[in-house]
Amino acid sequence: MVGSGFGDCVDHRWLAAGGAAVTLSCRPLTIADYDDARQLYAALSTGDSLISFEDGLGAFAQLLSHPGTTVMGAAQAGRIVSMATLHLMPNMTYHGRPFGLIENVVTLPDARGKGCARAVMAALVDTAQAASAYKIMLLTGRDNNAKGFYERIGYNADEKHGMILRLDQPS
């Protein structure tokens, strides 16, 4: 997939049920977006994996200020309805070009199927390309239908195998 012009602060419009025009704009999130981001993290998380509200504010601020990290969101009517996080990592191969890791791609249930995640992912591709990244990687769960979405926007599982080592929480 190449950048599609849905990047930073670019509007995307579609017709909602009933023919009403809906405007969507993508932009990097700020600490002021924490309440909306928190709702999205809650939609993504299962069990007790979501940090407490109070601790989450500090963790979100730390995430937003981390060098090379962008949390991109799609806003509709002043509300963040979709987001994903891109971490650009320094690299010693590919002539020192960074590579990207995408995590926590999520769209609110009532905004799914309307191009929100596609717009967020395109904006993150634009961000990675602007940083001269040579690739973007992501993992997706086996228990959802996201694999087909990622394949439709250009990702493939033919070249690499993704693996996870879960670590115990420190006591």
Domain architecture of the chain: domains with CATH: 11-152 (3.40.630.30)
**Torsion angles phi and psi, residue 26, rounded to 5:** -105, 140
- Please state the pTM of the whole predicted model: 0.85
Three-state SS for 64? helix
Residue 114 has which token pair?
């309307």
Instruction: Centre a 10 Å sphere on the Cβ of residue 52 and count the other Cβ atoms it contains.
Output: 8
Cβ contacts of residue 59 below 8 Å, gap of 6+? 51
CA nearest 111: which of 26, 33, 8, 1? 26
One digit per residue, pLDDT tens: the chain, 171 residues?
Answer: 334 444 433 444 444 455 555 678 999 999 999 999 999 999 988 767 888 888 999 999 999 999 999 999 999 999 999 999 999 999 999 999 999 999 999 999 999 988 999 999 999 999 999 999 999 999 988 777 788 899 999 999 888 888 888 898 776
